Structure 1
Amino acid sequence: MLMSKHKKNQAGGNRILISVTVVGSAGPIRFVVNEKELVDFVINIALKSYAREGRLPVLGSNVNDFVLYCPVIGTEALKAWEMIGSFGVRNFMLCKKPKTVVDGGDDGGKTVAVGISRKSSGSWKAWFNKSLNLKVSSH
């Protein structure tokens, strides 16, 4: 029986512990995946873990709205079909994809990337107090 488990691990690849930091969240999410899993699968697992832990801000569950970066490798997003173990690193960043809109200006229309906007309603202290008020329940 021990031999069959060992062969199964060899066929499926090694399992690795990775850390995914979500932009705007308090800390990284850590979980174990097979090194041969695709980036798309890792994003899905990260979103599910994030939601299960009840973290803020709420992200949603659509894998296509997010990209995974490896800050050590470069500034380009990882391709969805690449294997997570092929990069040789264990730390990643999960970000929402920038939204694009078509600008119908004077030149007939061009695609413009719109960054993730923050609704600034004051300082970080106001945001912190507001988030505390959401968690405190009154009797």
Structure 2
Amino acid sequence: MALYKQKKNHKGSGNRLLISITVLGSAGPIRFVVNEEEIVAAVIETTLKSYAREGRLPLLSSDLNNFVLYCPIAGTEALSPWETIGSFGVRNFMLCKKPQVGKASIDEEKQAIVRKGNSSWKAWFNKSLNLKISSH
């Protein structure tokens, strides 16, 4: 009787796929089986849970809204969270953090100021060393 119920549930669930998701910055992909009708947002959530359960580094947040999933055949466009994972016809994906426009631009400005300050200090130091060496 239980065997009959398993067949009935499996038949209605559609095809299952073994997918491989590479998390940017992590060593090796995460692999698991999903239903081909599963939406991208659910796949991202499952990936983040598996990543945390395995204790992988770097540490990631558990908020799926901070991440995007890319497909090699879709180019540089992130996949829509409402599309089905089986609609792309591939099994390899890449998970990346969403770019943060406001915070990143402030950090880049700070780094540019620090670099500019360091480069002028380094230039002055190198110039003063060259003067001392050439005067001998």
TM-score scaled by structure 1?
A: 0.70
Matched with 1:43 is 44
Q: Which runs of 5+ in 1 are unaligned?
A: 103-112, 120-139
Q: Which runs of 4+ in 1 moved over 4 A?
A: none
| Deviation of 1:72 (Å) | 2.5
Offset of 1:100 from its aligned partner?
1.9
Q: What is the number of equivalent residue pairs in this alignment? A: 107
Q: Please tell me the residue identity of whatever aligns with 2:75.
A: G
Q: Percent identity?
A: 65
The structure whose residues are more often strand, as a share, is: 1
Say yes or no: does 1:28 pair with 2:29: yes
Partner letter of residue 102 of structure 2?
Answer: V
How many Å apart are 1:10 and its aligned residue?
A: 2.4
Larger radius of gyration: 2
Residue 61 of structure 1 aligns to a residue in which SS?
coil
1:83, distance to aligned residue in structure 2 (A) = 0.5
2:37 matches 1:56: no
CA RMSD of aligned residues (A): 2.2
Partner of 2:95: 94
Helix, strand or coil at the partner of 2:74: coil
Amino acid paired to 1:85: G
Residues 1:6 and 2:13 aligned together: no
Q: Which has the higher contact order (CA 8 A, sep 6+)?
A: 2
Amino acid at match of 1:40: A
- The answer to which structure has the higher helix fraction is 2
C-alpha offsets along residues 88-139 of structure 1, whole Å, 9 cap, x if unaligned? 100000000000229xxxxxxxxxx75x98x9xxxxxxxxxxxxxxxxxxxx
Shift of 1:75: 1.3
| C-alpha separation in 2, matches of 1:98 and 1:77 | 11
C-alpha deviation, 1:45, in angstroms: 0.4
Aligned twin of 1:108 = none
CA displacement at 1:23 relative to structure 2: 0.4
